[in-house]
Amino acid sequence: MGSRSVENEMKKMIAGPAKAGPYVLCLIVAVSISLAAQTAGWDAKYRAIPNAKNIGEYMKRMSARPHHLGSP
């Protein structure tokens, strides 16, 4: 095998992944967009959980009598 044929084989090996690069990038972007859409729904659900009224009632109940957290 001459050095010219080895060089051509190396170029073919390098060119294969380089040609696939844009397709892989498009796939990654598509998957990222899909995941972002799915997590947006979960984000909205979790943001709705802490209700200020519930937190106020909980704090009143926790501070109604002395407990060890306030002791020296």
Q: Express each pLDDT in 15-55 by its tens digit.
A: 665 566 677 777 788 888 877 777 777 888 888 887 878 88
Q: What is the pLDDT of residue 49?
A: 81
41 Cβ partners below 8 Å, 6+ apart?
A: none
pLDDT at 71 over 60: yes
Task: Give the integer Cα–Cα distance in Å for 27 and 18.
Answer: 15
Domain-wise residue ranges, the chain = 22-70
Q: What is the pLDDT of residue 35?
A: 79
Percent helix, percent strand, percent coil in the chain, to nearest 5: 85, 0, 15
Q: What is the pLDDT of residue 13?
A: 64
First to last CA, the chain: 85
